[in-house]
Amino acid sequence: MRYRTKEEVEGYRARDPIAQFRRRVLERDALPEGDLRAVEVRVAAEIEEAVRFAEGSPAPRPEETLEDVYVSYSGRLW
């Protein structure tokens, strides 16, 4: 059982802003493909490091789970 149909997933992939950006950069010769690939590799490494950090970090205490979720206004709003 799937949440989305195959056609729906394909439709979203066709509109993927990152894929569109990559295609346009290459079409317009704004960056050589090697430079664009180097950026993609650096971004993937940064994401992997963030995942390792998150997985290696202790879980928050239950009372901390809602911290920094809602804005707390003190005094005037503007």
| pLDDT (tens digit per residue) in 34-71 | 999 999 999 999 999 999 999 999 998 998 888 888 87
Q: Domain residues of the chain, as ranges?
A: 6-58
pTM for the structure as a whole: 0.63
| pLDDT (tens digit per residue) in 17-32 | 999 999 999 999 999 9
Distances in Å between the alpha carbon of 43 and those of 5, 24, 29, 38, 56? 29, 19, 21, 9, 20
